[in-house]
Amino acid sequence: MPLSRSLSMTSLSGVLPAWEEDELPVEDLLLFEVAWEVTNKVGGIYTVIQTKARITTDEWGENYYMMGPYFEHNFKTQVEGCEPPNPAIRKAMDSLIHNGCQVGEERPNIIGHFHEWQAGPGLILARSRKIPMATVFTTHATLLGRYLCAGNVDFYNNLDKFDIDKEAGERQIYHRYCLERAAVHCSHVFTTVSQITAVEANHMLHRKPDVVTPNGLNVKKFSAMHEFQNLHSTNKVRIQEFVRGHFYGHLDFNLDKTLFFFIAGRYEFSNKGADIFLESLSRLNYLLRVHRNDMTVVVFFIMPAKTNNFNVESLKGQAVRKQLWDTAHTVKEKFGKKLYGALLKGQIPDMNSILDRDDFTIMKRAIYATQRHSLPPVTTHNMLEDSTDPILSNVRRIGLFNSRNDRVKIIFHPEFLSSTSPLLPMDYEDFVRGCNLGVFPSYYEPWGYTPGECTVMGIPSVTTNLSGFGCFMEEHISDPAAYGIYIVDRRFRAPEESCNQLTQFMFSFCQQSRRQRIIQRNRTERLSDLLDWRYLGRFYIHARHLALSRAFPDKFKMDPMAPLRTEGFRYPRPYSVPPSPSASLHSTPHHSDVEDEDDEPYDEDEEAERDRLNIKPPFVLGAVPEGKKKQPGESGN
């Protein structure tokens, strides 16, 4: 199905329609952003609002407010209490606290931005009571679309065939669906986060989005290119330490020739693509064994599920690892003292006598403690629904039980990561930086923050053309795979073909040399500019301008004929990549630490400079480029 375009998303280098006035008079306006995930983390919307807050505050200052549900724990840990600086807000809050919501008072013009159906009633009531407020409604995923995809229906090929009311009623979400649809049609401006979701919303909610507002991140740029590479190496060592403990007694693979893959997010088995990922891992395991590839892949599933604590075997593994570490240090210290004393005397010590019988006894006991009569566990926790859990059920089906012969090992960590965990004490960001590849073959993913987070950290990732992120990258990069963005075709290929494509992506990644992986990480990290709110925030500005012009046409006007430029902003294929995609890959398996004499030529500085020419500088509110007269409605580049 061809994807139609919303006006504002033809290119990131687009120019917003012009205003009659020089700039938006934000001092006379208030902006309210309303969502269930304001200080309340449920999913990706929390990240959208949290990361966008800085660029929005730069624009609106103290006239920007966010509204969300009150949970005492979230308030204490994420919010700093203060008195509202605006007397109108203070009066409104007093009314809410004492008498309910009242409308009267002199007030500035207000923009209300509502996210998702939970915030919909506020928008609907504001419009039905004729409150003078410009409204924007953003859906990050349609309610019915998420339910339909979770039910394993052929969603995208049947978008125009669903009986929407019937489907919502059968799933007992008709009341919520009606709220969502009413909010969409009551809003002055309707936005969504990607082109793929815009198509979905047009069918599910019967309104084409006015603006597409891609999700961004606050990108931290390093002064030196090698800094993020150093973070990768440092955090990879921490993951290796966990793996040493988890696979104690079965650590017959070389950790220097081991790659770490992961998938993370809400536990939506089919929507997030865990089903196709597991099947592809089974095929990858077969290919690595058949080709006698000495590379091992350890795959982490970071998806929260119902558990009742860590399992004993996982905790024991880390205890055994620590005991071995302590034993090794004790013997090393004793050995060092004897060696030091002998050298001071001008003697070469007898290596057969430098360790006594007690030392050997200690080491033998440590080795005996590493003996294991069971396979390393697939999951790190005791699962409450072990027999019916989708991941574990499919692991049993494909037979990946972490045996010695398997080149693909699986670790299911059914809770979000934390630096305070006694098992894997790492924050999510550190963990991602230490991995080699993020794999997110989603079937239903309106945007997809997980591959975006990988990109800004310089970690290659797998996504699909059914995710907003994948479509965004496909639009703006000529050769996404060269930049470490592997896009699986799940829209126009059969599931079997998509599974084979994913398998080939992972197998090809395993065949890369260490140098090729470093080069690819450099290219991936350079794409972070595409995802910075300094670039993507302009689409939210556009949506607010449009809402004001529709709500208060006498005071705020936009030129509807002002075009958006479509030229530029497309990353070309890196000049050092050979014309054939397969030419940079080895035709036969090889050791990852072997450097080939005919490796592709590569100049990081030259490639980076070429890429910088393909991206528009970030806009700075209130700034005017030197030598350029500020045009009406422009707030800088």
CA distance 491 to 276: 14
Q: To the nearest 10°, report the CA torsion of 101, 105, 110, 113.
A: 0
Q: What is the pTM of this model?
A: 0.79
What per-residue confidence (pLDDT) applies to 507? 97
What per-residue confidence (pLDDT) applies to 464? 97
Q: Residue 577, CB half-sphere, CA atoms under 13 Å: how many?
A: 20
Task: Output phi, psi for 601, to 5 deg.
Answer: -65, 145
Q: Does residue 385 sit in the same domain as residue 421? A: yes
CA distance 21 to 555: 10
Query: 3-state class of 213 per DSSP?
Result: coil
What per-residue confidence (pLDDT) applies to 161? 94
Q: Does residue 391 sit in the same domain as residue 413? A: yes
What per-residue confidence (pLDDT) applies to 630? 38
- Has residue 175 been placed in a domain? yes
Q: Does residue 472 sit in the same domain as residue 492? A: yes
What per-residue confidence (pLDDT) applies to 433? 96
Neighbours of 223 (CB within 10 A): 5
Phi-psi region at 68: left, alpha or beta (left = phi > 0; alpha = psi -120 to 50): beta
Burial call 371-388: b when 16+ CB within 10 Å, e when fewer: eeeeebbbbbbebeeeee
CA distance 567 to 11: 7
Q: Which residue positions in the chain have pLDDT lower than 50?
A: 1-24, 100-104, 106, 561-568, 579-598, 617-637
- Has residue 583 been placed in a domain? no
Q: Does residue 146 sit in the same domain as residue 223? A: no
Q: Does residue 226 sit in the same domain as residue 279? A: yes
Task: State which of 160, 195, 212 marks the end of a domain.
Answer: 212
Q: Does residue 390 sit in the same domain as residue 426? A: yes
What CATH code is carried by the domain that includes residue 65?
Answer: 3.40.50.2000
Distances in whole angstroms, Cα of residue 293 to Cα of each of 287, 328, 507, 591: 8, 31, 10, 8
What per-residue confidence (pLDDT) applies to 63? 84
Neighbours of 306 (CB within 10 A): 13
Q: Does residue 223 sit in the same domain as residue 208? A: no
What per-residue confidence (pLDDT) applies to 598? 46
Task: Output phi, psi for 191, to 5 deg.
Answer: -130, 160
Q: Report the number of distinct structural domains present in the chain.
A: 2
Task: State which of 212, 228, 258 marks the end of a domain.
Answer: 212
What per-residue confidence (pLDDT) applies to 199? 95
In the structure encoding, which two tokens stand for residue 241, read together? 């330490």
Task: State which of 500, 531, 562 marks the end of a domain.
Answer: 531
Per DSSP, 581 falls in state G
Neighbours of 133 (CB within 10 A): 21
CA distance 16 to 27: 21
Q: Does residue 306 sit in the same domain as residue 183? A: no
Q: Does residue 190 sit in the same domain as residue 82? A: yes
Distances in whole angstroms, Cα of residue 118 to Cα of each of 179, 336, 558, 601, 622: 8, 65, 30, 53, 34
Question: Across-strand partners of 555?
Answer: none
CA distance 53 to 15: 22
- Has residue 621 been placed in a domain? no
Work out the end-to-end distance of the chain between its first and last CA atoms, rounded to an integer number of angstroms. Answer: 35
What per-residue confidence (pLDDT) applies to 42? 76
Whether the CB-CB separation of 277 and 349 falls below 8 Å is answered with: no
Whether the CB-CB separation of 611 and 626 falls below 8 Å is answered with: no
Neighbours of 318 (CB within 10 A): 21
Query: 3-state class of 263 per DSSP?
Result: strand
- Has residue 616 been placed in a domain? no
- Has residue 287 been placed in a domain? yes
- Has residue 485 been placed in a domain? yes
Q: Does residue 205 sit in the same domain as residue 156? A: yes
Distances in whole angstroms, Cα of residue 175 to Cα of each of 102, 165, 401: 27, 10, 44
Q: Does residue 81 sit in the same domain as residue 158? A: yes
- Has residue 517 been placed in a domain? yes
With tokens 């950790």, the residue in question is 255
Residue-number span of the structural domain to which 433 is assigned: 219-316+373-531
Whether the CB-CB separation of 125 and 46 falls below 8 Å is answered with: no
- Has residue 328 been placed in a domain? no
Q: Does residue 205 sit in the same domain as residue 307? A: no
What per-residue confidence (pLDDT) applies to 205? 96
CA distance 217 to 503: 29
CA distance 53 to 164: 35
